[in-house]
Amino acid sequence: MERIIIIGGGLAAVTAAKTLRTEGFEGAVTILSEERHLPYDRPPLSKAVLQGAADAQSTCLLKAEVAQNLAIDLQINQRAEAIDRDAQVVRLSSSQRLPYDRLLIATGSRARTLDGPFEGKGNVFYLRTIDDAECLRAQMVPGKRLLSIGAGWIGLEVAATARKSGMEAVVVELADRLCGRSLPPDVGVALADVHRSNGTVIHLNTSIVTVGGEDQVESVTLSNGEMLAVDVVVIGIGAIANDAIAREAGLETGNGVIVDEFLRTSDPLIYAAGDVAAMRVGDGQPTRMESWANAQDQAAAAARNMLGKKEPYAINTWFWSDQYDLNIQMIGDNQPEGGTILVRKGEGRSFTRFAVIGDVLVGAICFGAPRDMAIVRRLISKGYAVTDDSLITATDLRKLL
Ligand SMILES: Cc1cc2nc3c(=O)[nH]c(=O)nc-3n(C[C@H](O)[C@H](O)[C@H](O)COP(=O)(O)OP(=O)(O)OC[C@H]3O[C@@H](n4cnc5c(N)ncnc54)[C@H](O)[C@@H]3O)c2cc1C
């Protein structure tokens, strides 16, 4: 095997390329990234970069000289248009055709857009790329009024950053709770309290009925009858997998590129990892994650498997978010059917919420308690048996290890 091509220029692509080298692969490694920037990390975009506490360059994941030292052929501004599986060739936007022996699809996901009256308005933003973050950062001016549409992680982080930047912030959400896909209702309520106590107005079960303004959104009317004057609108209503290139090549797709536990697509020469990959284990429903830790670990595993290791991958469920001074971390299954919930109170608003099935600890959410996460991970991995309420009462969680 001589040539490995990676389509995509995010965390998964960079991790896979570096892993190929640390595993001793000496053949050609090419990264094809459609963006005009060097690969960069996305989590700071809604946090430190948006607030102006870090500059965009600090997010770089692969400097040109590092790529050169690792003999990684890093091609930015280079979109892969199609995969010709019969010829084992990737066709680029420049019409060039690059042959591969193994191919990794790490094309990530993109922001879901809201059509209709928000389309084409000058003060409506999404937040996925460094360019998005820089445009939005220019709007983070004290006193301006931000409307965040969608109470998912991005919408909430942007609202928190806006408040920290001295703006007014309102979040409008159709559902009855925050981060409905990933947070259990009780934690959603606790998070809403944090936002409200920081001055963010949250409207749940609410839709936007009318939008006022010509080139810019100047006001909106909500389904509860309220009218809001706005200066900046951020839409955070989820992400869509960039799986079209795989679908058009005839690979199995469906909310992402379907891979097996070895991260192999329906073509054994082609792998997928990161936000775009939907992993199916056995007959189960494919699982697609949109998280940093999974993108990194899945890509490393895919790289090793492309080199013939045959290591099954277990999804890394660890996720974090930072909002105001609150750090939230979660791992495992936090809404298990028939499970028991144990809540360990910390200082102030903080707590660690454990999910248990039988006597097995299956998940935890550390809400303002980041130090607990390292201990929780160890408890889960060593198979800690929950036979009493020590998780709640122990003076020091480390004593349970
Ligand atoms: C603002 C923001 C904040 C986040 N915060 C957190 C957080 O706090 N915690 C957390 O766990 N996760 C967070 N995430 C999620 C995390 O960043 C993603 O899960 C991770 O970036 C996924 O990496 P990836 O490499 O799979 O995909 P991506 O980062 O999406 O990278 C894919 C790249 O491939 C490129 N590409 C797509 N198609 C092609 C093509 N045909 N040819 C060439 N290039 C192509 C795309 O333009 C993109 O540059 C955040 C995401 C965002 C956007």
Task: Specify if 314 maps to a domain.
Answer: no
Residues 103 and 135 in one domain: no
Q: Coil, strand or helix: which one is 277?
A: strand
Cα–Cα distance, 361 to 357 (Å, whole number): 7
Task: Specify if 256 maps to a domain.
Answer: yes
Question: Which residue has tokens 């999404």?
Answer: 126
Q: Which atom of ligand 1 lies nearest, measured to the CA of 128?
A: 53
Residues 258 and 229 in one domain: no
User: pLDDT at position 283, please?
Assistant: 83
Among the candidates 191, 211, 235, a domain finishes at 235
- φ and ψ at 84, to 5 degrees? -100, 100
Residues 77 and 94 in one domain: yes
Residues 296 and 226 in one domain: no
Q: What CATH number is given to the structural domain containing 155?
A: 3.50.50.60
Residues 36 and 76 in one domain: yes
**Ligand 1 pocket, Cβ-based, cut-off 6 angstroms:** 7-13, 32-35, 42-43, 45-46, 79-80, 106-109, 127-128, 154, 242, 245, 274-275, 290-293, 295, 319-321
What confidence tens digit (pLDDT) does each residue in 205-233 have? Answer: 999 999 999 999 999 999 999 999 999 99
Residue nearest to ligand 1 atom 4, measured at CA? 43
Task: Specify if 369 maps to a domain.
Answer: yes
Task: Specify if 313 maps to a domain.
Answer: no
Task: Specify if 206 maps to a domain.
Answer: yes
Distance 43 CA to ligand 1 centre (A): 9
102 in Cβ contact with 269 (< 8 Å): yes
Distance 361 CA to ligand 1 centre (A): 30
Cα–Cα distance, 187 to 166 (Å, whole number): 26
Task: Specify if 320 maps to a domain.
Answer: no
Among the candidates 235, 260, 291, a domain finishes at 235
- Residue from 151, 134, 132, 120 nearest 56 by CA: 134
Please, what is the angle between helix 153-164 and helix 185-197, to 10°?
20
- Residue from 120, 136, 147 nearest 56 by CA: 136
User: pLDDT at position 134, please?
Assistant: 96
Q: What CATH number is given to the structural domain containing 379?
A: 3.30.390.30
Strand order in the sheet with 208-212: 208-212, 219-222, 227-229
Cα–Cα distance, 387 to 152 (Å, whole number): 35
DSSP secondary structure, 22-41, as one string: HTT--SEEEEE--SSSPPB-
Among the candidates 197, 214, 235, a domain finishes at 235
Pocket residue to mutate for ligand 1, from 45, 130, 134, 275, most atoms within 8 A of Cβ: 275
* Sequence letter at residue 127: L
- Residue from 340, 350, 261 nearest 301 by CA: 261
CA distances from 387 to 332, 345, 383 (A): 19, 19, 12
Task: Specify if 125 maps to a domain.
Answer: yes
Distance 10 CA to ligand 1 centre (A): 6
User: pLDDT at position 100, please?
Assistant: 98
Residues 173 and 205 in one domain: yes
User: pLDDT at position 153, please?
Assistant: 98
User: pLDDT at position 10, please?
Assistant: 98
- Structural domain for 359, as ranges: 325-400
Cα–Cα distance, 379 to 385 (Å, whole number): 9
Task: Specify if 315 maps to a domain.
Answer: no
Q: Which atom of ligand 1 lies nearest, measured to the CA of 245?
A: 41
Cα–Cα distance, 173 to 192 (Å, whole number): 12
Q: Which atom of ligand 1 lies nearest, measured to the CA of 294?
A: 19
Residues 230 and 131 in one domain: yes
Cα–Cα distance, 148 to 171 (Å, whole number): 5
Q: Over its length of 401 residues, how does the chain's per-residue pLDDT go in tens digits? A: 899 999 999 999 999 999 999 999 999 999 999 999 999 999 999 999 999 999 999 999 999 999 999 999 999 999 999 999 999 999 998 889 999 999 999 999 999 999 899 999 999 999 999 999 999 999 999 999 999 999 999 999 999 999 999 999 999 999 999 999 999 999 999 999 999 999 999 999 999 999 999 999 999 999 999 999 999 999 999 999 999 999 999 999 999 999 999 999 999 999 999 999 999 988 889 999 999 999 999 999 999 999 999 999 999 999 999 999 999 999 999 999 999 999 999 999 999 999 999 999 999 999 999 999 999 999 999 999 999 999 999 999 999 99
Helix or strand run (H / E) with residue 203: strand 201-203
CA distances from 365 to 153, 294, 380 (A): 15, 17, 13
Cα–Cα distance, 201 to 356 (Å, whole number): 34
Distance from chain centroid for Cα 117 = 27
Number of domains into which the chain is organized: 3
Cα–Cα distance, 293 to 317 (Å, whole number): 8
Cα–Cα distance, 324 to 314 (Å, whole number): 32
Residue nearest to ligand 1 atom 27, measured at CA? 108
Residues 137 and 219 in one domain: yes
Residues 217 and 155 in one domain: yes
Residues 214 and 119 in one domain: yes
